[in-house]
Structure formats: structure tokens, C-alpha cells
Amino acid sequence: MKMTFRWYGETDPVKLEYIRQIPGMYGIVSAIYDVPVGEVWPLESLHKLKARIEGVGLKFEVVESVPVHEDIKLGKPTRDRLIANYQQNIRNCAAVGVKVICYNFMPVFDWTRTELAKELPDGSTTLSFDAAAIEKLDISKGISLPGWDSSYQADQLRALLDEYAAVGEEQLWANLEYFLKAIIPIAEEVGVKMAMHPDDPPRPIFGLPRIVKNRDDLARLVKIVDSPANGITLCSGSLGADLCNNIESLVREFGGMGRIHFGHLRNVAVEADGSFFEAPHLSCTGSLDMARILRAYHEIGFEGYVRPDHGRMIWGETGKPGYGLYDRALGAVYLNGLWEAITKFVPANTEQKDAA
């Protein structure tokens, strides 16, 4: 298991030099942020980013994300040019040594929360999702959603939602298939593993189709192009927000077949109606048992990348919700500690690894 940390580049309030001080840190997960979605990332920007990261003694082997343009998801005629650009981005990432690209196929909104700073009893704040509050939002009047308010004008958003209503789930799958058939051969050719991030939360929102929510969706996804390059980012917190998803068994199934290329490790405290808040990584604070999840990774002989996913805001830190330094650093150290104990005392199932 290679521990990594997400860093948003020079504008990130978290200093790269501080990330390096977290014990057991292997690499940085980042992206090029100043190029519009759908365009090609200049090779020199990637070289610069790599040199900056390597300059502090960390590796740059995982990109999160190369975003997929809405026209590709909607299957519009403009998609071929955008897919060609995406192919070039895969090539450019490979040229600087990137091994894994995390991406998602969520229409319009990536992760969705109803509150960015829910206060917990210990005074820390965290991201949360209230299922009833989402149902009550009247999006015909425009939308006010923490984290996304300024991304779209109300009329722009309405137009997009209408377009997706016409697309629906099966057509979204077909559009994904078209995309994967075009990009996976390129990823294979240049030695990059594509790692699809599941929908977060794993349910349709605002009538938008969402297609990567559970075991069956993941099984369908990896079969569309049956190649190791067509893999997943197993996000424990996203999938774990549906209590029907058993993260341990997803690790065994998809990791066992060599399709988990990136693990996002995060805990969530989930209620019966699907509401949740993001808990500290420690098992006893949320609905997920991190020790069992990591044991499953160990059993399948996992040697890929993981990162502590979102953290709370603690110790007075301010900044990008979910992406402060302190709580994610605590998460990384906790996960590394669990991993040390598991790898020392639990035998790995090497048979399964050899079969993968």
C-alpha cells in the first residue's frame, strides 16, 4: 500500500513541505487546475508539477482527476474532439510517469453535500449530507448547494438538468461505453491505469442519473472493456454512504481481480435514510470498520495507492472543506499504523494475489 495525499497545487493553503513531514508519506495526488475542462494539459505544466513534488522528496504517480466534459457524458456530437483531448491527456500524464488517473462519470455535480461545516460535539466541523433536505430543494428556482453555488447560473443549470433528463441511466451507460472504448486502449498502450471514482453519494440526486453506486454497477463498469487498465477508485466513504454496500467484500471482489488501482479511505456515520456526516477515519467513530477494510486490502495483496480522503476541520484550521492538513494527516498516520499491524500479524492470501 502506497500512502498518498491530495494537494491542489500552489494555491492550496496546505503546504507541500508540510505534507512531506507526515510519516510514511509516499506521494502526492494532484492535477493541472488552470486548464478548462475538456482541453489538453500542457506537457510543460505536468513536468513543472512533477519537478515541484519530487523536489520535496515525494512521488507524483497519481492524477486526480482528469475531468470528463459534460458533452462526453451527454453523448453530444462535440464529444469526439473532447475524447481526443482526453486521450492526449492520458498520454501526457504517462509521459511524466503517472501510473493512475482517477476520474468520475457523475453528471453535473461531483460530490454533493448539504453542509460543509456541520459542528460535531467535540467542536470540529465536517461535511454532511441530509437526505430530507436534498429532497426538499426546489431546483426550478435555482440551486444553492454548498461547494457548487457559483459553478452554474440558474438557467444554465436548468438546461443541463433537462438534457440529462432526456439521457437517463441506460443512455448514460452507452455514453460511458463509447468513452471507455476510446480511452482504455490508449491507457493500455502507455501503461496508465484508469480508476473510476464512484458516485458520491451513491444515489440519484435532482433526478440526475447516477450509474456507479454499488457492486453491480462496478461489475458492469469493469466488464465494458475487460482490461486491467479499466479499473476503479474504491472510495469507502462514497460507497459506504449506502449501508447496503459492503466495502470489505468490494475490496475482495474487485481488488481480487486486480481492478482497484486507488483506494480512498474515509469513514462516514450513516443514518437509515441515507443521511450521513464524514467521521474521523477511526473505526469507532463512524459506520465503517477501517481495520477490516484494510485487512481485506492486505488479503488480496494490494500494492496500489491509497489516500486518506476528506478530513474534518480541527485545531482551528480553515481552508478548503474536507481538505485541511491536520485531520487528513491524522488519518494517514492511523491508516499506516493499522497497515503496519495487519501486515506484521495477518498472513496475506497470496493465492488470490497470484490469480489476479
Establish if 197 lies at the interface with ligand DNO (CB under 6 A): yes
Please, what is the minimum distance in Å from the beta carbon of residue 131 to ligand DNO? 19
**Is 278 or 299 the residue whose CB approaches ligand DNO more closely?**
278
323 is known as an active-site residue? yes
Q: Which of 321, 313, 299, 294 is nearest to 236 (CA)?
A: 294
**Is 104 or 124 the residue whose CB approaches ligand DNO more closely?**
104
Please give the Cα distance from 89 to 38 (Å, whole number).
Answer: 10
Establish if 302 lies at the interface with ligand DNO (CB under 6 A): no
**Is 299 or 309 the residue whose CB approaches ligand DNO more closely?**
309
- Counting residues that bind ligand DNO (by CB under 6 A) gives 13
48: Cβ contacts below 8 Å, ≥ 6 apart: none
Please, what is the minimum distance in Å from the beta carbon of residue 197 to ligand DNO? 4
Catalytic site residue from 197, 261, 281, 298: 197
CB 114 within 8 A of CB 98: no
- Residue 261 CB neighbours (<10 A): 26
Catalytic site residue from 200, 217, 309, 327: 309
Please give the Cα distance from 161 to 36 (Å, whole number).
Answer: 21
- Residue 274's SS3 state is coil
87: its cell numbers: 486521450
Please, what is the minimum distance in Å from the beta carbon of residue 300 to ligand DNO? 22
310 is known as an active-site residue? yes
Which of 102, 172, 300, 335 is close enough to bind ligand DNO by CB under 6 A?
A: 102
Establish if 126 lies at the interface with ligand DNO (CB under 6 A): no
**Is 113 or 298 the residue whose CB approaches ligand DNO more closely?**
113
Which of 311, 322, 324, 331 is close enough to bind ligand DNO by CB under 6 A?
A: 322
Which of 85, 92, 104, 128 is close enough to bind ligand DNO by CB under 6 A?
A: 104
Which of 7, 60, 103, 277 is close enough to bind ligand DNO by CB under 6 A?
A: 103
144: its cell numbers: 444553492
Establish if 110 lies at the interface with ligand DNO (CB under 6 A): yes
Please, what is the minimum distance in Å from the beta carbon of residue 95 to ligand DNO? 21
Catalytic site residue from 86, 164, 235, 297: 235
**Is 258 or 263 the residue whose CB approaches ligand DNO more closely?**
263
CB 143 within 8 A of CB 161: no
Looking at 97-105, 240-248, 252-260, 330-338, which segment touches ligand DNO (CB under 6 A)?
A: 97-105
Please give the Cα distance from 262 to 193 (Å, whole number).
Answer: 9
- The continuous run of DSSP H or E covering 138 comes out as none
Q: Are strands 100-104 and 59-64 parallel, antiparallel or unpaired?
A: parallel
Q: Considering Cα of 157, then 163, then 167, then 172, what sign does the dihedral take?
A: negative
Q: Is 284 exposed, middle or buried (0-12, 13-18, 19+ CB in 10 A)?
A: exposed
**Is 98 or 342 the residue whose CB approaches ligand DNO more closely?**
98
264 is known as an active-site residue? yes
Establish if 64 lies at the interface with ligand DNO (CB under 6 A): yes
Which of 45, 65, 246, 352 is close enough to bind ligand DNO by CB under 6 A?
A: 65
Please give the residues from 215 up to 274 whose contact with ligand DNO meets the rule CB under 6 A.
235, 264
Which of 5, 111, 277, 339 is close enough to bind ligand DNO by CB under 6 A?
A: 111
- Residue 117's SS3 state is strand
Query: Would you give the distance in Å from CA 5 to the centre of its chain?
Result: 12
281 is known as an active-site residue? no
In three-state form (DSSP H/G/I as H, E/B as E, the rest C), the secondary structure along 128-155 is EECHHHHHHCCHHHCCCCCCCCCCCCHH
In three-state form (DSSP H/G/I as H, E/B as E, the rest C), the secondary structure along 21-59 is CCCCCCEEEECCCCCCCCCCCCHHHHHHHHHHHHHCCCE
Please, what is the minimum distance in Å from the beta carbon of residue 124 to ligand DNO? 18
Q: End-to-end distance of the chain based on CA atoms, in angstroms?
A: 16
- Find residue 119's DSSP bridge partners: 125
Binding residues for ligand DNO (CB under 6 A): 64-65, 102-104, 110-111, 197, 235, 264, 309-310, 322
As annotated, the active-site residues are 197, 235, 264, 309-310, 323
